[in-house]
């Protein structure tokens, strides 16, 4: 089986279309979405519709829940809060109802899908360090937990040699190890690589690959500005920050 793992689209239609165009040639058996379909970008309805038609395996992100008042936004920065309110005003009722139904966690065989962390996904904490990962490993069963939320692809490996922190684009899944894999962000990368980022899981080769795709950044920026969203949300796309 070949799985495509997409996440943190954040209403960036240009980035999502570029990724899906690339994946057309990858013989994908199933798409998995790790949340934050909306927020920041100017095309929340279009992105939700595409994801809804693509897969029924999607977990909720904090911006998805925030847009339908299922999570507190008091700790969001002012630009994120403004984007949440804008998104809530522009989402169709049908898409709002869809976002409300998204679960916080999905388990598929020996793999887990969660937007933030397995230990309290509704708190929207991050896994950014080996210390964070060490805690998270004790809260899920199975070999792999795929996460998102930080917009930074990285892998933590718990194996015979201890805990490893890996930033490579190819991860070989070994039977004697467990993994927490962050698949990066399609619509709002924050690792200083502005290209849209996603992951491929091939169960035949037992390999996960992090992929990058160029997209129309200027088009996404123009849409954000035309929508009246904060200028910083457009500017940051150029730098992947």
User: Phi, psi at residue 48, to the nearest 5°?
Assistant: -60, -45
pLDDT confidence band for 107 (50 / 70 / 90) = very high
Alpha-carbon distance of 113 to 79, in angstroms, equals 28
CA distances from 107 to 47, 52, 104, 118, 189 (A): 24, 19, 10, 11, 26
- Beta-carbon contacts of 238 under 8 Å, excluding residues fewer than 6 positions away, are 194, 217, 221
Alpha-carbon distance of 167 to 37, in angstroms, equals 24
| pTM, two decimal places | 0.96
Q: pLDDT digit string (tens) for 81-94?
A: 999 999 999 999 99
Q: pLDDT digit string (tens) for 204-223?
A: 999 999 999 999 999 999 99
Helix axes 93-101, 44-54, angle to 10 degrees: 50
What is the pLDDT at residue 30? 97
Architecture of domain 2-239: 4-Layer Sandwich (3.60)
Q: Give the tokens for residue 28.
A: 């994908």
- In the chain, where the domains are located: 2-239
Q: pLDDT digit string (tens) for 15-30?
A: 999 999 999 989 999 9
Identify whether the C-beta of residue 36 lies closer than 8 Å to the C-beta of residue 16: no
pLDDT confidence band for 79 (50 / 70 / 90) = very high
Q: Give the tokens for residue 221.
A: 């920026």
Q: pLDDT digit string (tens) for 164-201?
A: 999 999 999 999 999 999 999 999 999 999 999 999 99
Give me the chain's average pLDDT, please. Answer: 97
What is the pLDDT at residue 213? 98
Task: Report the percent of the chain where pLDDT is more than 70.
Answer: 100
Mean pLDDT of 93-104: 98
What is the pLDDT at residue 223? 98
H/E segment holding residue 4:
strand 2-6
Helix axes 231-239, 78-90, angle to 10 degrees: 110
């Amino acid at each position: 089986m070949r799985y495509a793992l997409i996440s943190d689209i954040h209403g960036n239609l240009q980035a999502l279309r570029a990724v899906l165009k690339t994946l057309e040639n990858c013989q994908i058996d199933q798409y998995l979405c790790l949340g934050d379909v909306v927020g920041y970008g100017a095309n929340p309805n279009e992105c939700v519709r595409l994801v809804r038609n693509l897969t029924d395996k999607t977990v909720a992100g904090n911006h998805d829940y925030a847009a339908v008042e299922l999570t507190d936004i008091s700790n969001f920065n002012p630009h994120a809060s403004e984007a949440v309110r804008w998104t809530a005003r522009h989402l169709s009722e049908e898409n709002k109802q869809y976002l409300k139904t998204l679960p916080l966690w999905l388990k598929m065989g020996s793999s887990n899908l969660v937007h933030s962390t397995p230990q309290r996904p509704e708190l929207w904490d991050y896994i950014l360090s080996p210390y964070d990962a060490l805690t998270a490993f004790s809260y899920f069963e199975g070999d792999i937990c795929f996460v998102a939320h930080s917009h930074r692809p990285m892998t933590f490996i718990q194996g015979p040699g201890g805990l490893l922190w890996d930033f490579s684009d190819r991860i070989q899944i070994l039977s004697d190890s467990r993994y927490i894999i962050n698949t990066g962000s399609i619509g709002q990368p924050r690792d200083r690589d502005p290209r849209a980022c996603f992951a491929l899981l091939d169960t035949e080769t037992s390999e996960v690959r992090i992929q990058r795709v160029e997209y129309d950044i200027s088009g996404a920026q123009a849409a954000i500005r035309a929508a009246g969203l904060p200028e910083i949300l457009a500017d940051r796309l150029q730098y992947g920050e």
